[in-house]
Amino acid sequence: MGRIRQYPPHLFLPRRQARHTAGMTEAITQVLRHLAARELSEARSTLRHLAQAGDPEASLLEVTLTANGTGGAPDWRKAFAQLADCGARFGGEFADQLALMEQMDLDRDGYPKRLPEGDLIDASIQMQRFEGFLSPAECAFIARTASDILAPSMVADARTGAFKAHPVRRSSEAPIGPTREALPIQAILRRIAKASGTAVTQGEALTVLHYAPGQEYRPHLDTLPDTANQRQKTFILYLNDAFDGGATHFDVLGITVKPRAGDALVFDLVGQHGSPAMAARHAGLPVTAGAKWIATRWIRARPFDVWRGPEAA
């Protein structure tokens, strides 16, 4: 429903850490200014200086941007080595992230050593469910990465492109932008890529969605009406199940998927000739009690650069 013409600015804001000195705060602000202006290599060199001076917040951001290739070539191995080094020096968030990744059985490039196994639910849109795709700690980490920037979901007006609230989509959401893609998040993005048979570069920013009681996402197609790089697949992560209602319902196929914490669901959005598959129409049914948390990765036909904007790639 509607085309997403621009990302909200908070997509590019890192989650702030509490501990740093006044001088460091000023320096980090400089980095944020570079990022906002898309001066990515300038941001990286300022970060390098700060990290060398021993600033943990700058180091954490540098690790993230090194791994996802912001302002330079992506380098998981270098980023992981820096995270391990900071974990030994600072502990805290660095050590927590390393501990989370120790449970993941990753290869040297951050990919899972084994392919997650899915169950085929429907062959016409290659719908597969993965049981236990995420651990409880991973679910919590994803939700926590975006919980401070949740904002009401908006839909772009098809005529003017202006964002506005719309009853088709009543939820809160927050994209996990490139500055928030801590290594555990990037490892999960690689798992999603492997499970969906796509490249990690094809994904849009992983988006956390939160539904309060009464909220829903009415039947819709995830394909975009006007794009040169169409969405091919939707990958949904169910982060919790302590709520009533809120199933994912495919009205054309007559299939209802009951959310279970840690499960994942993937399905094709387009048919053989690249046109939208009506069978993929789906809804997030109204939540009747509790809060529903999911995260969605929409996967494009070709590489997609979040920094360059939704339709630049």
Ligand X SMILES: O=C(O)CCC(=O)C(=O)O
Residues that bind ligand X (CB under 6 A): 209, 217, 222, 234, 236, 248, 282, 284, 294, 296
Binding-site member from 173, 204, 216, 222 for Fe ion (CB under 5 A):
222
Beta bridge partner(s), residue 276: 270
Q: Which is nearer to ligand X, 44 or 297 (CB)?
A: 297
Report the residue number whose CB is nearest to ligand X. Answer: 284
Q: Which is nearer to Fe ion, 57 or 222 (CB)?
A: 222
Provide the minimum distance between the beta carbon of 294 and ligand X in the complex, in angstroms, as a whole number.
Answer: 5
Count of C-beta atoms within a 10 Å radius of residue 152 = 13
CA-to-CA distance for 57 and 91, rounded, in angstroms?
A: 13
Q: Which is nearer to Fe ion, 68 or 171 (CB)?
A: 171
Q: Which is nearer to ligand X, 101 or 185 (CB)?
A: 185
Q: Which is nearer to ligand X, 60 or 239 (CB)?
A: 239
Provide the minimum distance between the beta carbon of 222 and Fe ion in the complex, in angstroms, as a whole number.
Answer: 4
284 binds, among Fe ion, ligand X, none (CB under 5 to 8 A by kind): ligand X
181 binds Fe ion (CB under 5 A): no
Provide the minimum distance between the beta carbon of 174 and ligand X in the complex, in angstroms, as a whole number.
Answer: 13
Q: Which is nearer to Fe ion, 55 or 222 (CB)?
A: 222
297 binds, among ligand X, Fe ion, none (CB under 5 to 8 A by kind): none
Asked if 76 and 67 touch (Cβ cutoff 8 Å), the reply is yes
294 binds, among ligand X, Fe ion, none (CB under 5 to 8 A by kind): ligand X
Which span sits near Fe ion by CB under 5 A: 64-72, 89-97, 187-195, 216-224?
A: 216-224
Provide the minimum distance between the beta carbon of 211 and Fe ion in the complex, in angstroms, as a whole number.
Answer: 13
Provide the minimum distance between the beta carbon of 248 and ligand X in the complex, in angstroms, as a whole number.
Answer: 4
Provide the minimum distance between the beta carbon of 295 and ligand X in the complex, in angstroms, as a whole number.
Answer: 9
CA-to-CA distance for 109 and 247, rounded, in angstroms?
A: 35
Q: What is the 3-state secondary structure (H, E, C) of the chain?
A: CCCCCCCCHHHHCCCCCCCCCHHHHHHHHHHHHHHHCCCHHHHHHHHHHHHHCCCHHHHHHHHHHHHHCCCCCCCHHHHHHHHHHHHHHHCHHHHHHHHHHHCCCECCCCCECCCCCCEEEECCCCEEEECCCCCHHHHHHHHHHHHHHCEECCEECCCCCCEECECCECCEEEEECHHHCCHHHHHHHHHHHHHHCCCHHHECCEEEEEECCCCCEEEECCCCCCCCCCEEEEEEEECCCCEEECCEEECCCCEEECCCCCCEEEEECECCCCCECHHHCEEECCEEEECEEEEEEEEECCCCCHHHCCCCC
304 binds, among ligand X, Fe ion, none (CB under 5 to 8 A by kind): none
Provide the minimum distance between the beta carbon of 210 and ligand X in the complex, in angstroms, as a whole number.
Answer: 10
Which span sits near Fe ion by CB under 5 A: 29-37, 63-71, 145-153, 219-227?
A: 219-227
Residues in contact with Fe ion by CB under 5 A are 222
